[in-house]
Amino acid sequence: MKASYLPVLLTGIALSACATPQVETTATRSEPVTVQILALNDFHGNLEQHARPTTYYAGEQSQSERLGGAAQLAATLAGLREDNSITVAAGDLIGASPLISSLFLDEPTIKVLSQMGLDLASVGNHEFDRGTGELRRMQEGGCEQFTRREPCGVEHFEGAAFTYLAANVVDEAGHTFFPGSEIREIGGARIGFIGMTLQGTENLVAAQATEGYRFLDEAETANRIARNLMQEGADTVVLLIHEGADVDPLYSLAGCPNLSGPIVQIIDQLDPAISVVVSGHTHQAYVCGVETTSGTEVLLTSAGRYGGFVTDITMVIDPGTETVLSLSGDNVAVDGSMGSDIEIAAVVATYAEAVGPVANRMVGPMYDTGEEGENCGDRPAQQLVADAYLYAADIALESGADLAFVNSGGVRTDLSGADDGVLTYGELYAMAPFGNGVLVLEMTGTEIAALLEQQFCDEGQTTICDSLLIPSDGVIYSGDMQRPPQQRITSLTLDGMPLDPQRTYRVVTNSFLAGGGDGFSLLPEMPVVANVGFDIDALEAYVALIDRPVPVCGRVLNLPPQD
């Protein structure tokens, strides 16, 4: 049963609509209209069903099942779809994808999302991973090459049948990258949709990927466009935004338990014309009403990640008064109970066959000693990637390097692929799917300590801004988030000795971080000594060396892990 969110919302929307012009008379638009909005987010090219079960909650009762898969997602959407329905998404449909999609530049993902009836989608930060030219190709189609990988490897790419929206992505003249909004007439109701990514997108992708564009404040942009949409005759406005909330537990079919996070502050500032916020980015599943400063209530939703859930929203609108009479919604688990779409399953099978020889190729053995660390902010897969960076520099440069850092958010999977004793290329690629370069920088001990301080943000309580920096073997650092700014790194050692503040060290990292990604603004100021290749190549070469144990966490101590 859907949770309903009514009272405060209705008054606010009715009042805001009183001053807006009517494009049709009340007599011709007086019957209430029921509209269904099906929503998803953060699909990330997950064409196949999740490898491991997901635990989610219906109230206090938990269930654990394998979820997702494009064919099952399509069947779930078809099974839920009613009259007067529209399907929308809140960004990161592509990028950071498994090899079955990313090897083919996410063309199969765009194809299946189009086939399953997606209508509108906001851009997310990962839509920009391969640059603006490649993102335009995702929308428009064609085989023009914008990356080092050749497009149309399996079939001609037709582009998206759905429309991307990018209201807060503008060039120097103020023009949006994609349209910012669209009004859809659904069953006689006119609903305005705004799509945008988070303002911090420029910190989450390489600088060259968004060159020439800037990202505007989310609430200010949404409010300005919402007022315009109401003037153009919209009955209400739905915001598709790639920014989200934190909840505990992470995946709920209804409710927003222990709600916090950036989207809460954004909602607090929204114009009363906006009745629904379909969110993403945090990869969590929730549905609830959230009250704004103006006294209205907004329905906030998110459908988790990787196609594991669909949010089913029902909105009843009185077009005559431009009033939302009721709102309800819940998340539906994509558990296969509604079957599998045959045509989309065939597309996935085609690409699985094409990627098979690459993905299944064995790279190297790995075994688990069973040893576990304590108070760790790092994870074994992150350690492995950092060690691979250092190895790449050591074999490329006569004098080698001293240490390496990878951003925790840049390592996309754990080391569960080693459970069978061997890692395949597909499993390695899932860890490092971005195709980042591996660069060697020169930094003093003082600069390295200052870099680690850039991990922290002050938003009332100290938090990790975007990612933790995970070091290579031999480096251990500790933090204390209760200490004052610039004093939160309490120890930093290399091979058991404190770093010398005056000494110049060679530091290896990826091109994303070196360009200032994840907010590490100090790194672009550091001199680059060498480019030693690509991250996936370094990881493959390192894993192929010897039969190695799974790393034991303990390089980052007393800081919360960032998975």
pLDDT score for 206 = 80
pLDDT tens track for 39-78: 999 999 999 999 889 999 999 999 999 999 999 999 999 9
Q: How confident is the model at residue 27 (pLDDT cuts 50, 70, 90)?
A: very low
Q: Are residues 347 and 379 in the same domain?
A: no
Q: Are residues 263 and 325 in the same domain?
A: yes
Q: Are residues 319 and 385 in the same domain?
A: no
CATH number reported for the structural domain that contains residue 524 in this entry: 3.90.780.10
Q: Are residues 470 and 340 in the same domain?
A: no
Q: Are residues 338 and 454 in the same domain?
A: no
Element (H, E) at 110: helix 107-115
Residue 563 lies in a domain: no
Is residue 26 over pLDDT 70? Answer: no
Q: Are residues 526 and 545 in the same domain?
A: yes
- Could you tell me what percent of the chain has a pLDDT over 90? 79
In which domain, by residue range, is 382 found?
Answer: 363-557
pLDDT tens track for 218-247: 999 999 999 999 999 999 999 999 999 999
pTM: 0.85
In angstroms, the CA 528 to CA 516 distance is 13
Q: Are residues 337 and 384 in the same domain?
A: no
Residue 538 lies in a domain: yes
Last residue of a domain, one of 331, 352, 373: 352
Residue 513 lies in a domain: yes
Residue 358 lies in a domain: no
pLDDT tens track for 342-385: 999 999 999 999 999 999 999 999 988 888 888 899 999 999 99
Q: Are residues 199 and 245 in the same domain?
A: yes
Q: Are residues 199 and 157 in the same domain?
A: yes
Locus of tokens 């989450």: 204
- Could you tell me what percent of the chain has a pLDDT over 70? 94
Last residue of a domain, one of 313, 333, 352: 352
Tokens encoding 538: 């370094």
pLDDT score for 393 = 95
Give how many domains the chain has, as a whole number.
Answer: 2
Last residue of a domain, one of 297, 321, 352: 352
Q: How confident is the model at residue 122 (pLDDT cuts 50, 70, 90)?
A: very high
Q: What is residue 192's three-state secondary structure?
A: strand
Contacts of 115 (CB under 8 A, 6+ apart): 74, 161, 341, 343, 344, 347
pLDDT tens track for 494-544: 999 999 999 999 999 998 899 888 889 999 999 999 989 889 999 999 999
Please give, one letter per residue, the 3-state secondary structure of 507-539.
Answer: EEEEHHHHCCHHHCCCHHHCCEEEEEEEHHHHH
Q: How confident is the model at residue 28 (pLDDT cuts 50, 70, 90)?
A: low
CATH number reported for the structural domain that contains residue 47 in this entry: 3.60.21.10
Residue 434 lies in a domain: yes
Residue 141 lies in a domain: yes
Q: Are residues 327 and 410 in the same domain?
A: no
**Please, which contacts does 176-184 make with residues 24 or more away whose CB atoms are closer than 8 Å?**
177/123, 177/132, 177/135, 177/213, 178/123, 178/139, 180/221, 180/225, 181/225, 181/228, 181/229, 182/120, 183/229, 183/232, 183/233, 183/234, 184/86, 184/119, 184/120
Is residue 563 over pLDDT 80? Answer: no
Q: Are residues 338 and 380 in the same domain?
A: no
Is residue 5 over pLDDT 60? Answer: no
Query: Phi and psi for 375 in degrees, rounded to 5?
Result: 55, 40
Q: Are residues 109 and 11 in the same domain?
A: yes
Is residue 338 over pLDDT 80? Answer: yes
As to burial, measured by CB atoms within 10 angstroms (0-12 exposed, 13-18 middle, 19+ buried), residue 482 is: exposed
Mean pLDDT of the chain: 92
* More reliable by pLDDT, 417 or 275: 275
Cβ of 179: how many Cβ atoms within 10 Å? 13
